[in-house]
Amino acid sequence: MTYLSAALFIIGTELTRGVIADKHCQLLSSQLTQLGYRVDRMVLVPDDGTIAEVLEDCIAHCDVVLLTGGLGPTSDDMTRSIVASLAKVPLVRDKQTFELLYQRIGERIWGANEQQTMIPEGFEAIPNPFGTAAGFRGFIPSGNRHIACVAMPGPPREMDPMFFDEVLPWLAQLIGHDDFSRSEYSTFLIPEAKLEELCKSVTFNGLTWGTRFQDLKISLYLNGGDSEERTVMADHLRSLVGPSLVIDGDVMPSDLLTDLLLERNETISCAESCTSGFIAKLLTDKRGSSAWFYGGVVTYANEAKREFLGVSELTLDTHGAVSEACVREMAKGVLDRSKTDWSIAVSGIAGPDGGSKEKPIGTVWFGFAGKNRPTEAVCVHLSTWGRESVRRKASVVALILASRYIKGDCLLDTVDKWQYI
């Protein structure tokens, strides 16, 4: 049969009483979606009562059911017996699971833990190196269908490694990835809906993709094909959005810059207006940041631009704070005072007030200076989803452009490709 629709079944009274927040649904559904499954429902139920009935309903409607929780050693933990009963098989002791657990806890196994070595007959045990509850997987007959069923322990530190190491490859095979493999990319500044649309336009040979939103970036996973084909698809994408917005591997926008500085053994400082400290904050998110970050100034008021950076009154009066002349003087000013190798300057209109016809909200000027490099400046018009969004995007742009500037790339060429930000 074809396996396509999936259900998640999360068991835990602490969830339905609101004591803790569920951590599995997003992780599992994003991974299943990436493999090509359609997650049709995610159900959270308490330990007591209605598990069997709700699970039966899931099985009647989905091809794959992933369960988490209810594998503990107490009488509340009923996942094993419920699955066995739905599959109409007895629970049997899994020899290997028993031996592994016996090695770890010895004679104590004869208490409640012994039941944790039982699995439904015909199912396959999944070892759990981080806890006493083994998982299991197998098929539950339902009419002429065979529903794939996987049970995993509830605690994330046990579930997560079991899922990624043992269950994900199995599910990949089940949906038809013979040789399941994937590549990870980090994308910046492209709205998720646009990224989806662009991937659709460049995919070929059945390559699939999945995305995961994480704070300042969206992770992009290309699935299927061989690694060369996935690279071709990523390169197609880069040709549409610019190479600086799609980066190999799992990196944050600040990593691009700080890894480069670390490699070159160089330092940076920054002068911020509209981002008001957020770039400085991002540059110090990682341990050891004193190796590359000197410090900077937040020159929110115009007087601060004059006092701390020596921006001229003439510049501010003639061109305003959001201008090429101003960010050039800001970049030069902080570089000279800091004596760092490089500097970043940002001045823009975050809104919701302060926009004008000439300089609408989202207009941001970026300036860059280096010890032995002519100062450069470039303007970007950010789409505006509110003050916070403009500030966050401007910070990401500054970090990306700084790394391009240090590498000697033309900034105008770089931002020219950014039609979607």
25 binds a second copy (CB under 8 A): yes
- Residue 384 beta carbon to a second copy: minimum distance, rounded to whole angstroms: 13
| Beta strand 5-11 pairing with 38-45 | parallel
Cα-based angle 27, 87, 8 (whole degrees, multiple of 5): 15
- 294 Cβ contact partners less than 8 Å away, ≥ 6 residues apart: 267, 268, 269, 338, 340
Q: Which of residues 267-286 bind a second copy (CB under 8 A)?
A: 269-270, 272, 275-281, 283-285
Rg (CA), the chain: 27
Q: Which of residues 35-74 bind a second copy (CB under 8 A)?
A: 38-46, 49-50, 53-54, 57, 61
- Cβ closer to a second copy: 97 or 299? 299
249 binds a second copy (CB under 8 A): no
Contact region with a second copy (CB under 8 A), list: 219-227, 258-266, 350-358, 399-407: 350-358
- Cβ closer to a second copy: 51 or 83? 51
What does the block give as tokens for 61?
């409607």
Cα separation, 308 vs 273, whole angstroms: 12
- Residue 353 beta carbon to a second copy: minimum distance, rounded to whole angstroms: 6
Q: Which of residues 364-393 bind a second copy (CB under 8 A)?
A: 387-388, 391
296 binds a second copy (CB under 8 A): yes
16 binds a second copy (CB under 8 A): yes
- Cβ closer to a second copy: 212 or 381? 212
DSSP 382: -
Contact region with a second copy (CB under 8 A), list: 110-118, 222-230, 300-308, 409-417: 300-308
Cα separation, 188 vs 81, whole angstroms: 47
Cα separation, 316 vs 331, whole angstroms: 15
149 binds a second copy (CB under 8 A): no
- Cβ closer to a second copy: 218 or 377? 218
- Residue 145 beta carbon to a second copy: minimum distance, rounded to whole angstroms: 17
- Cβ closer to a second copy: 54 or 92? 54
Half-sphere exposure of 319 (CA within 13 A, CB side): 17
32 binds a second copy (CB under 8 A): yes
For residue 42, what is the enclosing H or E element? strand 38-45
Contact region with a second copy (CB under 8 A), list: 144-152, 222-230, 246-254, 303-311: 303-311
Candidate list 4, 30, 266, 310; residue touching a second copy; CB under 8 A? 30
- Residue 15 beta carbon to a second copy: minimum distance, rounded to whole angstroms: 7
Candidate list 240, 304, 379, 411; residue touching a second copy; CB under 8 A? 304
For residue 278, what is the enclosing H or E element? helix 278-283
Residue span 305-324 as binding mask against a second copy, x where in contact by CB under 8 A, dash where not: --xx----------------
For residue 335, what is the enclosing H or E element? helix 324-338
Could you tell me how many residues of this chain bind a second copy (CB under 8 A)?
Answer: 75
Asked if 52 contacts 82 with a C-beta cutoff of 8 angstroms, the reply is: yes
352 binds a second copy (CB under 8 A): yes
Cα separation, 1 vs 309, whole angstroms: 69
- Residue 400 beta carbon to a second copy: minimum distance, rounded to whole angstroms: 18
Q: Which of residues 176-195 bind a second copy (CB under 8 A)?
A: 192
Asked if 66 contacts 41 with a C-beta cutoff of 8 angstroms, the reply is: no
Q: Give the DSSP per-residue string, 94-140.
A: -HHHHHHHHHHHGGGGGTGGGGGGEEETT-EEE--TTSS--EEEEEE
| C-alpha separations of 156 from 27, 59, 122, 197, 400 in Å | 10, 24, 26, 33, 34
132 binds a second copy (CB under 8 A): no
144 binds a second copy (CB under 8 A): no
Q: Give the DSSP per-residue string, 147-186.
A: EEEEEE-SSHHHHHHHIIIIIHHHHHHHTT-TT--EEEEE
Candidate list 115, 208, 211, 375; residue touching a second copy; CB under 8 A? 211
